[in-house]
Structure 1
Amino acid sequence: MTPRVARALRMLSPHPWLAPVGGDAGVRPGPSPEGARAGLRTAGAAMIAALALPFAIAPAEAAHRPPRTGFETSEGRRWTGAAEERDFLAAVDRWSDRVSVDRVGTTGQGRPLRLVRVGRERPGATTVLLVCGQHGDEPAGREACLTTVRDLAFAEDRATRALLSRTTLLVLPTVNPDGRAAGTRGNAGGIDVNRDHIALETAEARAVAAVVRDERPQVIYDLHEYGATPPYYDKDLFALWPRNLNVHGRIHDASRTLSERYVRPAATAGGHTSGHYGIWTDPATGEPVKQVAGDGQERILRNVSGLKHAAGLLIESRIDALSEAEKTDPARNHRRRVASHLTALGGLLDFTDEQRARLRAATARSRLAGLTQRDPVYLGGADNDPAEPSEILADPPCGYRLDAARYAGVKDELALHGVTVQPERDGVFVPLRQSARSLIPLLLDRRATYHLANGQVRTAC
């Protein structure tokens, strides 16, 4: 047994609702404790095993008692409130020199959009972005994000300290606070934020875009929840990588590795079933029946992440009660949903630590490809759905011209997307030869489904 596994086993005495084997009464039975613990072999898994123990802290911090969320203090009977989140993050920021909290935007109703940074900025560090609570009626991922910030802030075990010495974790804990307050999927204007990562009409999506542009994360991990359709669409957790055909091959492969070799196995080791988001399967054979979601449309963060050179992953926990006990006691249901996200986060941390060299290489290749690439650009299709001939720019243009009026209408959005332009008389020219090459036609070509403006195609440079 390795020292890290031994430590994980010593720390596996958390609140019962976070037991990694689905041991809460009424929850679907998971593997035996021995089987689940045998899977805790890496830094991320060991840390996640201790997430209910924000008590492995330096003696100097012990007097403060690390803060707890409203969800934790109520044992899952209610979700953490906005004021509780504010006070919780302020306390973590005040007591831990690893954490800083900044305001990166303001919603339509005046609520702050916060970015939490865990770990010091160091040359060569891997940057991971957690995007939590895009849909206001999907709160479990947000709770997992908040407690993960706290536990990383105060953990003193060697594995976690080593992880943070070479990793910067960025967390947007509540991307849609107006929707969270109202209990609605959309924001205060009724817009689905996760369908706004091309148009950038909402303050929430603009804040995400600015963070991605400025911080250039190698991984973007997007936490959600879903409603089950038994027996075809009925797993504890679903995951999906960027399917858009313009995502660089190395980014696509790294994203799929994150899903298939790390996040889903971590969920399984924690006693949770998993599958691919958007795909109904035959319960008898496990074979796909039909696809109901999870396509390659570029406006969804999962796909935009890949287009912006980050390994991306969508992760969805099951909202519906798994048992009569969960129906009778909603707190059981809440605790299971948060616990499933926490187990998956262990896989993310392991991936980050073990695959950091691969991530750096994939990100660099993806960014540089736009400077030399002449490959086709796809206006439709997905990695499991070939594009129609009409959706393929087989010989992409040199770029797109925007006159002054059109440019004025999209200037801010192009800047947020990290697109560079060349001033011209009465307008600008947007060359494809830049890091944002694969994204630009989706923004400016009139044939693209969600384009921002009708750019004038220029075939020769």
Structure 2
Amino acid sequence: MKFRIRTLAFAVTAAALAVPLVTAPAEAAHALPRTGFETSNGARWTSQPEEQEFLAAVDRGSDRVSVGRIGTTKQGRPLQLVRIGAQHTSNTVLLICSQHGDEPSGRDACLSRIRDLAYARDSETRRLLSRTRILVVPTANPDGRAADTRGNSDGVDINRDHIALQTAEGRAMAAVVRDQRPDVIYDLHEYGATPPYYDKDLFDLWPRNLNTDAKVHQESQILSDRYVRPAAHEGGFSTGTYGIWTDPVTGDPIKQTAGDGQERILRNAAGVKDAVGLLIESRVDPVTDAEKADASLNNRRRVASQLHALGGLFSFADERRTRIETATTGARLAGFKDRGPVYLGGADNDPAKPEQILADPPCGYRLDAAQYADVKDELALHGVMVRPVGEGAFVPLRQSRRELIPLLLDARATYHLASGEAVTAC
């Protein structure tokens, strides 16, 4: 079964977006909220004031939706979380939209889908929302979006801040992951093409970090291979693997230019934190001469590709909900067994070097008073359990965040927060 959100109202035509539509009842269609992108037919992206007005209208108009504030940026803009559907369920999908402020198509796709989910009346959507909680951070980098910059107002790349948690944006997202325990984390981005080697309509990639539980890793690849890519193909969009250049004739991989296993990237942090993860990237560059002549055509194509991919995500969440929950729950419980290696480097396509493997990890790390004071808040945001010892602390590995702890506290880890003392006997 192919899941498709039944769009009740779009300012953009069905032909332009190539997204399945249904006709809303006459008395309701004119009243549904629309984004600035939709009302301009793709000529411009939705502004922040328009986003706030749009979300407030959806919140008022649908009892399926609630909008809350999870943080504030340095420039005072709200970081918001939209909750849709069943709130008393263990099956949770989290969308993180446009961490990079100059990659807006995912954000406008997310806004449209919030409205579609809020007002849809078809049985498929009702079933999905009756047993799945969908969470959306519609603008993960509001200051960067306002300035049309990749980084936030301090120039920090938020998608490199999921370990250090130095930014308000990164801290807000970490708190959401800790508190809401999503089973799936879906991260929407855009990329610049390099024809003819790297120019698909959409690229995606699962968590490559070797600390990702095997079943979580498998479900992440299934999300890509069996759901997101087929949904994009059905809409007429080409797909590929993010970071991999391919031969334009044979399709064979030539080289890897991005997409490694570093844990500070959300895609990989999701896997380390026992969630199915997927990065999705739509092509920014115009594909046709018509798109070169008319930016709105290019913008609509970018959003349409994201919308089709989201349809695949929702099919996955609905059809494989039991398998997903089994995988994520099993991964979280496995940490309490405190068994197996922890990897400080490598990726699923790049074996870790011997010095990057903790074959027999310590039972925990001891932090002195100064170290604990420096990283106490970050450990709490990551959901790491700590035992205070005097003015310092002991951080045991026997907990659900087992694989994350050495990445945070072992001096050999690339992005460690503190050089904790490894304790081998507990």
CA shift at 1:163, angstroms?
1.0
Distance 1:199 1:375 in 2: 25
Q: 1:122 maps to what in 2? A: 88
Alignment check: 8 A CA contact 2:87 2:133 kept: yes
Q: What does residue range 188-207 of structure 1 map to in structure 2 within 5 Å? A: 188-207=153-172
Q: What does residue range 154-165 of structure 1 map to in structure 2 within 5 Å? A: 154-165=119-130
SS in 2 for 1:108: coil
Distance 2:6 2:50 in 1: 30
Q: 2:14 maps to what in 1? A: 15
Distance 1:316 1:335 in 2: 15
Look up the equivalent residue of 1:385 and give its one-letter code.
Answer: D
Distance 2:341 2:9 in 1: 51
CA shift digits 1:372-407 (9 cap, x unpaired): 132111100000000011111111001100011110
CA shift at 1:6, angstroms?
12
Q: 1:41 maps to what in 2? A: none
Look up the equivalent residue of 1:105 and give its one-letter code.
Answer: G
Distance 2:224 2:338 in 1: 28
CA shift at 1:69, angstroms?
0.3
SS in 2 for 1:275: strand
Look up the equivalent residue of 1:123 and give its one-letter code.
Answer: T
Distance 1:242 1:10 in 2: 34
TM-score normalised by the chain length of structure 2:
0.96
Query: Kindly tell me: are residues 406 and 314 of structure 1, through their superposed partners in 2, closer, same or farther at Cα, counting changes over 3 Å?
Result: same
Distance 1:297 1:90 in 2: 37
Q: 1:401 maps to what in 2? A: 366
CA shift digits 1:416-459 (9 cap, x unpaired): 00000111123110000000000000000000000001101101
Aligned Cα root-mean-square deviation (Å): 2.1
Look up the equivalent residue of 2:300 and give its one-letter code.
Answer: R
Distance 1:7 1:453 in 2: 45
User: Is 1:153 equivalent to 2:118 in the alignment?
Assistant: yes
Q: 1:112 maps to what in 2? A: 78
CA shift digits 1:37-71 (9 cap, x unpaired): xxxxxxxxxxxx23xx5x536x8x72871110000
Q: 2:149 maps to what in 1? A: 184
Query: Kindly tell me: are residues 5 and 180 of structure 1, through their superposed partners in 2, closer, same or farther at Cα, counting changes over 3 Å?
Result: closer
SS in 1 for 2:316: helix
Q: 2:270 maps to what in 1? A: 305
Distance 2:270 2:290 in 1: 38
Alignment check: 8 A CA contact 1:133 1:224 kept: yes
User: Is 1:78 equivalent to 2:77 in the alignment?
Assistant: no
Query: Kindly tell me: are residues 425 and 364 of structure 1, through their superposed partners in 2, closer, same or farther at Cα, counting changes over 3 Å?
Result: same
Q: 1:246 maps to what in 2? A: 211
User: Is 1:67 equivalent to 2:33 in the alignment?
Assistant: yes
**Which blocks of at least 5 consecutive residues in structure 2 are unaligned?**
none
**Which blocks of at least 5 consecutive residues in structure 1 are unaligned?**
21-48
User: Is 1:419 equivalent to 2:384 in the alignment?
Assistant: yes
173, 177, 189: which is aligned to 1:208? 173
User: Is 1:56 equivalent to 2:55 in the alignment?
Assistant: no
Distance 2:406 2:424 in 1: 13
187, 197, 217: which is aligned to 1:222? 187
Q: 2:237 maps to what in 1? A: 272
Runs of 4+ in 1 over 2 A off after TM superposition: 4-16
Q: 1:43 maps to what in 2? A: none
SS in 1 for 2:254: strand
CA shift at 1:267, angstroms?
0.4
Distance 1:418 1:209 in 2: 9
SS in 1 for 2:336: helix
CA shift at 1:10, angstroms?
12
Alignment check: 8 A CA contact 1:403 1:428 kept: yes
CA shift digits 1:232-275 (9 cap, x unpaired): 10100001000000000010000000001100111011100000
Look up the equivalent residue of 2:206 and give its one-letter code.
Answer: W
User: Is 1:458 equivalent to 2:414 in the alignment?
Assistant: no
Question: What is the aligned length?
Answer: 425
TM-score normalised by the chain length of structure 1:
0.89
Look up the equivalent residue of 1:170 and give its one-letter code.
Answer: L
CA shift at 1:371, angstroms?
0.6
Alignment check: 8 A CA contact 1:113 1:174 kept: yes
Q: 2:56 maps to what in 1? A: 90
Distance 1:425 1:106 in 2: 34
Look up the equivalent residue of 1:337 and give its one-letter code.
Answer: R
Q: 1:36 maps to what in 2? A: none
User: Is 1:262 equivalent to 2:227 in the alignment?
Assistant: yes
Query: Kindly tell me: are residues 5 and 154 of structure 1, through their superposed partners in 2, closer, same or farther at Cα, counting changes over 3 Å?
Result: closer
SS in 1 for 2:88: coil
SS in 2 for 1:101: strand
Alignment check: 8 A CA contact 1:56 1:157 kept: no
CA shift at 1:227, angstroms?
0.3
Look up the equivalent residue of 1:143 and give its one-letter code.
Answer: D
Q: 2:347 maps to what in 1? A: 382
CA shift at 1:15, angstroms?
3.0
Query: Kindly tell me: are residues 7 and 182 of structure 1, through their superposed partners in 2, closer, same or farther at Cα, counting changes over 3 Å?
Result: closer
Alignment check: 8 A CA contact 1:102 1:114 kept: yes
% identity of equivalent residues: 67
44, 69, 76: which is aligned to 1:103? 69
Alignment check: 8 A CA contact 1:221 1:312 kept: yes
